[in-house]
Structure 1
Amino acid sequence: MEKKRDSTGRWAPEKNQVTYKRFRRQMIQRSPAASTPVAPWRQCETNFEFDPVCQRLELDSPPRNHEPAERVVQGNLQASSFDGGTSYCEAVTPSITPHTGAENAPEQGWVWRAAAQEQQAASDERGRGLQPFDVLNKAAVILQGKSVTPLGAPSLLNDYYTNLLDCSCNGVIALALGSSVYLWNSETRALVGHLDPSPQPGQPYREAQSISCLCWSRDGRALCVGTRRGGIQLWDVEHQQNLTCLPSHLSVVGAISWKQQLLSSGSVLGHIHHLDPRAPTPLVGAAVQKEGICSLQWSPGDDWLASGSTEGLLHIWDGDITGIKRSHQPITTMKQPSAVKAMGWCPWQRKVIATGGGWKDGQLRIWDTQSGSCVSSVNTNSQICSLRWAESKRYVMTGHGLPHHQVTCWSWDCPSLSLIYQLSGHSHRVLHLTINRDNTQIFSAGADQRFLIWDL
């Protein structure tokens, strides 16, 4: 049916046609609340914490898809009051029980795969020949007078802000590759097995538990693993049992450190949680800093806790960890021009700590935490990605990015830092370093997906 024009020449509406004015009037009459402003999203979701640390240092970390913080965390979420009536939404106090696949678990647990089972499983999942810790060259290579053995580290995440490598006091290497943690005995040079997230119904395998950090306990019996979803997995490696799953944070767990039987973790939202895995309510203390945490370490005597931030601040906290204290302040704060990711306490000098600067800085610094002053520094002209002390040799080891991707050994005789030697074997930046207990071997993992063993 053709439309007709009215006396003014305009198109006349059809019999069943509704004009916009009429439609708007009808909607307002039917739904008076439609004209009421909608409450802001932060009022609607009181448990959601917006991540203020969404901008990474571009030169220190490659661009990647940023995972949003979890809006809903399974488990018991306790809101504790602070001065001024502010609630601490990250304080989580779940009950600890050995992992048995119970419905109360915050995330699905992990499963143990023996070395023989792992080889076939890894081959089926990846469909590639190179497996973790496969020897790339049968004979050790001599570089700069040092023997080095290159091994494969496929799927190693190229992220400056991760901490994915550690060596236990028993010489067992833990290396996170993708969503799994592989355990390798450095003395027997054999793969022990690996820890793997158990499949969840309706989810692709290994989707939800990407690893951001890990750390061995001081006795080498327990391995703690932090994920990008804010969870913490505690694993008894000796008995091959998953002890517990703790939904500790609502954001990425940036770093983990042990204080005897207590566990401290830091998130990219700047929250520090102190956990006692033996207690029914594991959260025994907490503190907050404004910047995101990318490194965390207790001093050798457990007197102080150092936290490095993405904004270049190094905070030193006292050993009092009891209670949830939003107003708790560090006793000392030091600043450098780039993120404090490479950091480590000196094992033989109390109150002395070393930090490495990123690409914008490149300085290796030795700090006196009592006075807050820098006592020694040297310009490496390179991004420092990782740092470890070798106590018996009185060395400090640094792993570098551009331009040479080397491992550098320094001798520190206060106040001077002296270059001992440089080890070049990686083709991309050396993201992670660790060292065995007797300081005879250095282990490095790089963005080239190679794991190198340096015999000193």
Structure 2
Amino acid sequence: MTDVWGDSAAKRRCFKVREQRQNAAHRVSYKRFRRRIIRRGSGEAPVASTPVAAGWRCGSGFESDPVCQRLELDSPPRHVGTTHSALQGNLEETALAAGASHRGAVTPLKTLRSHSAEGKPDSENDPKPGWVWRAGAQAGSDERTGHLPFDLLDEAPVGVQGKLVRRLAAPSLLDDYYTNLLDCSCSGITALALGPCVYLWDSEASTLVASLGPTPPAGPHSVSSLRWSPDGRLLCVGTRRGEIQVQLWDVEQKRRVRCLPSHLSVVTALSWKQQLLSSGSALGHILHLDVRAPPAPVGAGVQEEGVCSLQWSPGGERLASGSPDGLLSIWDGDVAGPRSHQPVCSMRQPSAVKAVGWCPWQRKLLATGGGWKDGALRVWDSQTGTCVTSVHTDSQICSLRWAERKEWLVTAHGLPHHQVALWDFPSLDTSHRLTGHCQRVLHVALNPDETQIFSAGADQRLHIWDL
């Protein structure tokens, strides 16, 4: 019996050793598998069909936003395309909440990295912790293509109406429907935000004037909105995150003059009324600040839904704000008055109200463009809240501007045509269709004399059209 029990104990020890070896082999296989996955992920860029930046591309200072609200994306459903342009054309439009501020669509030329947040400046005029002014020649090129911002890619014959005059490089332009990254001043200086930097282009001299970039140069947060002051001397820049979200720059003096009180989420839209600056956030808050006074807001309002567009009327009598859920609100011009906290009237359309513009010669009229679910160009009477006229464009409308001298409406379109359209007003008949972008046209602007149109697209190109 002793031999039998001893033999059984030996078998148990043998089985136990064999089990330990098998477990060790499984652990080694899992470790090898995990190493392969990490090695493969770190060597490849995120796929074009996802708007979420990959985890290994985030810097050490990447942190989640304190606000976790997400808004509905205004983007068509994705389809598997056969070409690279088709894949890029189906990128989702980024959610407007602070919790989704880093879910912007991945740019095909350069992926922006996140870094630690900037510290608060010791004083309003201290430029060290904030952004710095750089000469245009110091602007960095794109990592893959080597193109500098506003590099001339090709040029078409000048003088042909409606034909592309120049095609310029715009590397790292964020493919985000809910941004406002292009604006032209009354003096003809075009500001375009590329990633965390803002580049200034002189349209008359066709030269890169300078650039505004964060310190350190590889800035932590990309620009979400920018707007020139009416006199063209000040440029206001809003960012997606950080303690310093709104900055005011004196272009003539080439220095930052103010750090303005900001929101707790993405600064989505900016608009001026003389010396009054209004800013809107992803959470629906609207702040009004007098840039000549102390930094405390002189007025505020709250929209039921997030703000993705903000526009003062030419005379300053009304303020229009749009939301990603299709709400168009009209606010009284007296920002400190008793009616300043509630809109005067509100209108609805089926999709996001991102493209907004007041008619310069009929100040009560307001034009809006619908997203991909709607695609309609509408003109509203802001006093009665009724739609005066409309036309279906069968395309996503990303941006619009009025051309007063020719009485045109200029619209920039996404899927499926990727074009700039010119509409006669009030008939809303198509006057011209400017094609040349291979992805959606996110932003459009006009020079002061309305002889040229600037269009910036998700294909990271800036086109200059001759009118």
* Common fold: TM-score over 0.5: yes
**Could you tell me how far 1:50 is from its partner in structure 2?**
3.5
**Could you tell me how far 1:222 is from its partner in structure 2?**
0.4
Secondary structure of the residue that 1:321 maps to in structure 2? coil
Tell me which amino acid in the other structure corresponds to 1:309: S
- Give the alignment's TM-score, normalised by structure 2: 0.75
**Could you tell me how far 1:281 is from its partner in structure 2?**
3.3
Tell me which amino acid in the other structure corresponds to 1:337: P
| Residue among 165, 185, 189 paired with 1:168 | 185
Distance in 1, matches of 2:273 and 2:460, equals 31
| Residue 401 (str. 1) matches residue 414 (str. 2) | yes
**Could you tell me how far 1:95 is from its partner in structure 2?**
10
Distance in 1, matches of 2:278 and 2:329, equals 15
Task: Specify whether residues 154 and 262 from structure 1 end up closer, same or farther in structure 2 by C-alpha distance, changes over 3 A only.
Answer: same
**Could you tell me how far 1:210 is from its partner in structure 2?**
1.1
Q: Which residue of 2 aligns with 1:266?
A: 280
Distance in 2, matches of 1:449 and 1:404, equals 16
Distance in 2, matches of 1:100 and 1:384, equals 38
Question: Which of 376-385 and 146-155 deviates more?
Answer: 146-155
Distance in 2, matches of 1:296 and 1:367, equals 15
Question: Which of 211-220 and 230-239 deviates more?
Answer: 230-239
**Could you tell me how far 1:339 is from its partner in structure 2?**
0.3
What's the CA shift string for 1:350-409, capped at 9, x where partnerless?
A: 210000000000100000111111011001000011100001111000011122111000
Secondary structure of the residue that 1:137 maps to in structure 2? strand
| Residue among 439, 445, 451 paired with 2:462 | 451
| Residue 68 (str. 1) matches residue 99 (str. 2) | yes
| Residue 281 (str. 1) matches residue 281 (str. 2) | no
Secondary structure of the residue that 1:116 maps to in structure 2? helix
**Could you tell me how far 1:418 is from its partner in structure 2?**
1.2
**Greater strand percent: which structure?**
1
Task: Give unpaired runs (5+ residues) of structure 2.
Answer: 1-64, 78-90, 102-116
**Could you tell me how far 1:139 is from its partner in structure 2?**
4.3
Task: Specify whether residues 162 and 379 from structure 1 end up closer, same or farther in structure 2 by C-alpha distance, changes over 3 A only.
Answer: same
Tell me which amino acid in the other structure corresponds to 1:189: S
Secondary structure of the residue that 1:136 maps to in structure 2? strand
Is residue 332–residue 372 contact of structure 1 (8 Å, CA) maintained in 2?
yes
| Residue 429 (str. 1) matches residue 443 (str. 2) | no
Q: Which residue of 1 aligns with 2:39?
A: none
Distance in 2, matches of 1:281 and 1:447, equals 35
Question: Which of 57-66 and 142-151 deviates more?
Answer: 57-66
Secondary structure of the residue that 2:374 maps to in structure 1? coil
| Residue 338 (str. 1) matches residue 368 (str. 2) | no
What's the CA shift string for 1:290-320, capped at 9, x where partnerless?
A: 1010000000000100000111011000012
| Residue among 388, 397, 419 paired with 1:384 | 397
Q: Which residue of 2 aligns with 1:35?
A: none
Q: Identity over aligned residues, as a percent?
A: 60
| Residue among 112, 115, 119 paired with 2:136 | 115
Task: Specify whether residues 64 and 440 from structure 1 end up closer, same or farther in structure 2 by C-alpha distance, changes over 3 A only.
Answer: closer
Distance in 2, matches of 1:126 and 1:99, equals 31
Task: Specify whether residues 361 and 54 from structure 1 end up closer, same or farther in structure 2 by C-alpha distance, changes over 3 A only.
Answer: closer
Q: How many residues align?
A: 372
Distance in 2, matches of 1:255 and 1:453, equals 24
Secondary structure of the residue that 1:174 maps to in structure 2? strand
Task: Specify whether residues 189 and 270 from structure 1 end up closer, same or farther in structure 2 by C-alpha distance, changes over 3 A only.
Answer: same
| Residue 352 (str. 1) matches residue 362 (str. 2) | no
| Residue among 334, 340, 348 paired with 1:320 | 334
Q: Which residue of 2 aligns with 1:26?
A: none
- Give the alignment's TM-score, normalised by structure 1: 0.76
Task: Give unpaired runs (5+ residues) of structure 1.
Answer: 1-47, 76-93, 102-107, 200-204
Q: Which residue of 2 aligns with 1:211?
A: 223
Is residue 73–residue 247 contact of structure 1 (8 Å, CA) maintained in 2?
no
Is residue 446–residue 453 contact of structure 2 (8 Å, CA) maintained in 1?
yes
**Could you tell me how far 1:67 is from its partner in structure 2?**
5.2
| Residue 440 (str. 1) matches residue 457 (str. 2) | no
Tell me which amino acid in the other structure corresponds to 1:431: L
Q: Which residue of 2 aligns with 1:235?
A: 249
Q: Which residue of 1 aligns with 2:376?
A: 363
What pairs with 1:149-160 in structure 2 (closer than 5 Å)?
149-160=166-177
Q: CA RMSD in A?
A: 2.6
Task: Specify whether residues 385 and 98 from structure 1 end up closer, same or farther in structure 2 by C-alpha distance, changes over 3 A only.
Answer: same
Distance in 2, matches of 1:182 and 1:73, equals 21
**Could you tell me how far 1:345 is from its partner in structure 2?**
0.3
Secondary structure of the residue that 1:283 maps to in structure 2? coil
Task: Specify whether residues 222 and 324 from structure 1 end up closer, same or farther in structure 2 by C-alpha distance, changes over 3 A only.
Answer: farther
Distance in 2, matches of 1:316 and 1:53, equals 24
Secondary structure of the residue that 1:126 maps to in structure 2? coil
Secondary structure of the residue that 1:68 maps to in structure 2? helix
Is residue 96–residue 278 contact of structure 1 (8 Å, CA) maintained in 2?
no
Secondary structure of the residue that 1:292 maps to in structure 2? coil
Task: Specify whether residues 337 and 54 from structure 1 end up closer, same or farther in structure 2 by C-alpha distance, changes over 3 A only.
Answer: closer
Distance in 2, matches of 1:97 and 1:165, equals 26
Task: Specify whether residues 51 and 398 from structure 1 end up closer, same or farther in structure 2 by C-alpha distance, changes over 3 A only.
Answer: same
Is residue 156–residue 164 contact of structure 2 (8 Å, CA) maintained in 1?
no
Task: Specify whether residues 426 and 58 from structure 1 end up closer, same or farther in structure 2 by C-alpha distance, changes over 3 A only.
Answer: closer
Is residue 286–residue 323 contact of structure 1 (8 Å, CA) maintained in 2?
no
Distance in 2, matches of 1:359 and 1:139, equals 31
Secondary structure of the residue that 2:462 maps to in structure 1? strand
| Residue 194 (str. 1) matches residue 225 (str. 2) | no
